[in-house]
Structure 1
């Protein structure tokens, strides 16, 4: 997903939803998104990632829910 603005778009959506975390590229082209905040807001971010309106092409979204770890500030593109 590199070079199409996906991480920037994800960051923008996350900040609109008052989420903290990051979006980072993996060497194989996948993107890992970590988001913390209200469960409803995290769900809305997932919906946006699955919506088909993202930059680039999203083939598959895998979600994994866990307790917030804390210590995050803002939303970073890595």
Structure 2
């Protein structure tokens, strides 16, 4: 993917795991890994799970998540 492909709330796949974008910076993307035991942990900010800063190398390794419908919204709507 490219930096311009990201939007807050969109879901994507990186290293075999699903992630949700929580912020888009000038050169980075901030995201949470969707592996918490409870969906309420993703209510934020602040989030009950760690946010990760993805740089240009990480961004290139990302793929759109087919389950999110590519709409940029977690529910696919």
TM-score, normalised via structure 2 length:
0.28
* Structure with higher helix content: 1
* Structure with higher strand content: 2
Higher relative contact order (CA 8 A, sep 6+): 1
TM-score, normalised via structure 1 length:
0.28
